[in-house]
């Protein structure tokens, strides 16, 4: 179990880093988001906001719920 836990943590770190690279490399972030402030999608959106990237939401604008 110890190796599995470390492996899972490493996967999560890599996913987080790849999401940040996507935001860093894009001009505009296109997001499909349900408005809940949990999970990887929210973390990616929060990072994009923090660095001032424009965000286009599909399926409505969840920002109205924030």
pLDDT of 56 > 70? The answer is yes
pLDDT tens digit string along 26-50?
999 888 888 888 888 888 899 999 9
pLDDT at 66 over 50: no
Contacts (Cβ under 8 Å, ≥6 apart) of 42? 33, 36
Residue-level pLDDT at 36:
83
51-66 average pLDDT score: 72
Nearest to 56 by CA among 29, 33, 36, 17: 29
User: What single DSSP character describes residue 51?
Assistant: T
């Amino acid at each position: 179990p110890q190796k599995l836990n470390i492996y899972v943590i490493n996967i999560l770190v890599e996913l987080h880093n790849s999401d940040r690279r996507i935001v860093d490399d894009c001009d505009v972030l296109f997001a499909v988001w349900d408005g809940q402030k949990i999970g990887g999608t929210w973390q990616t959106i929060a990072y994009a906001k923090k660095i001032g990237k424009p965000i286009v939401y599909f399926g409505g604008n969840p920002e109205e719920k924030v």
